[in-house]
């Protein structure tokens, strides 16, 4: 499995298995179990996905050494006040039934990010978390919160795909030695991307699927990718991208597809308030 080295010296698998919107009715357990059996060694979950427990069950019952599986989870913005964050980190560990989490992220960059980050830095020092990072941080939001980072985030997980290549953000993160992670690396199946003539042409040229062309492009751009599927053939297909390379010319063809438009704009007014109103991670407490 290809890895990237984070700014804290830890290594992260270049591709992970995303679990967003996979229900916690046994489906997450089954999907993660399938992904691990196929060869994934990086699983991405979050408190607000409500499926940490099933992710942990699959990891613990996989028969794979714990140190060979990379687990990411995320802190929800309900719990950004310092004491709440301390408790929430421990609850994530309990739900996952793990001694440590490889990567823990600020899920949404609103509210008391400074207090949440302090709690995460302390958890890292205590060995509860190996690496810490952020998610959905635009250039504007990064500049708003950067002064509260005693420990520079290891990653910034954002929407990233050929239609939204995050050019300005990529340049800023590169200067800070922060790696980008891609959620929605396949634009959530948007036909405008999957059926684009350039992507179709390259799929034929390399005898690969359109998804494999897109994921390989992102990988060669140095972005950690987190494709998600509950279908065995697609889970396997998304991992099978390391036996070919796109030429420089073909990379440039895909780069030209960039519109800097996507599914979500974290800078829109009221996003934080909407998220708090619509996701209650304590509803079953």
Q: Is the dihedral of CA 61, 49, 210, 243 positive or negative?
A: negative
Q: Which tens digits make up the pLDDT trace of 214-267?
A: 999 999 999 999 999 888 999 999 999 999 999 999 999 999 999 998 999 999
Phi then psi for residue 258, to 5 deg, are -60, 125
Q: Which one of 29, 40, 49, 80 is the catalytic residue? A: 49
Distances (CA, A) of 182 to 141, 273, 280: 17, 24, 25
Residues sharing a CB contact under 8 Å with residue 84, sequence separation 6 or more, in sequence order: 78
Q: With a cut of 90, say whether residue 1 has pLDDT above it.
A: no
Residue 167 parent element (H or E): helix 167-176
- pLDDT tens-digit readout, 64-122: 999 999 999 999 999 999 999 999 999 999 999 999 999 999 999 999 999 999 999 99
Q: Per-residue pLDDT for 283 more than 90?
A: no
Q: What pLDDT score was predicted for residue 177?
A: 97
The whole-angstrom separation of Cα 134 and Cα 136 is: 7
Domains of the chain: 3-274 (3.20.20.100)
Contact 35/235 with Cβ under 8 angstroms?
yes
> Is 49 an active-site residue?
yes
Specify the pTM.
Answer: 0.96
């Amino acid at each position: 499995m290809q890895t990237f080295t984070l700014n804290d010296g830890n290594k992260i698998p270049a591709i992970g298995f995303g679990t967003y919107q996979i229900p916690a009715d046994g489906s997450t357990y089954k999907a993660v179990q399938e992904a691990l059996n196929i060869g994934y060694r990086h699983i991405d979950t979050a408190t607000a996905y409500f499926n940490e427990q099933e992710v942990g069950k699959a990891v613990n019952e996989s028969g794979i050494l714990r140190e060979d599986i990379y687990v990411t989870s995320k802190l929800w913005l309900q719990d950004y006040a310092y004491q709440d964050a301390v408790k929430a980190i421990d609850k994530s560990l309990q739900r996952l039934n793990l001694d440590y989490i490889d990567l823990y992220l600020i899920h949404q960059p609103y509210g008391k990010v400074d207090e949440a980050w302090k709690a995460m830095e302390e958890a890292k020092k205590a060995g509860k978390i190996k690496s810490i990072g952020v998610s959905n941080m635009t250039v504007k939001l990064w500049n708003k919160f950067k002064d509260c980072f005693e420990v520079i985030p290891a990653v910034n997980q954002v929407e990233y795909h050929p239609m939204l290549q995050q050019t300005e953000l990529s340049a800023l993160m590169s200067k800070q030695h922060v790696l980008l992670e891609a959620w929605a690396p396949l634009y959530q199946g948007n036909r405008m991307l999957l059926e684009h003539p350039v992507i179709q042409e390259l799929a034929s040229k390399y005898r690969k699927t359109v998804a494999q062309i897109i994921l390989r492009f992102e990988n060669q751009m140095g972005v950690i990718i987190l494709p998600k599927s509950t279908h065995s053939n697609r889970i396997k297909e998304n991992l099978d991208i390391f036996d070919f390379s796109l030429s420089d010319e073909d990379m440039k063809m895909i780069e030209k597809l960039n519109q800097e438009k996507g599914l979500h704009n974290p800078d829109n007014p009221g996003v934080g308030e909407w998220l708090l109103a619509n996701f209650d991670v304590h509803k079953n407490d």
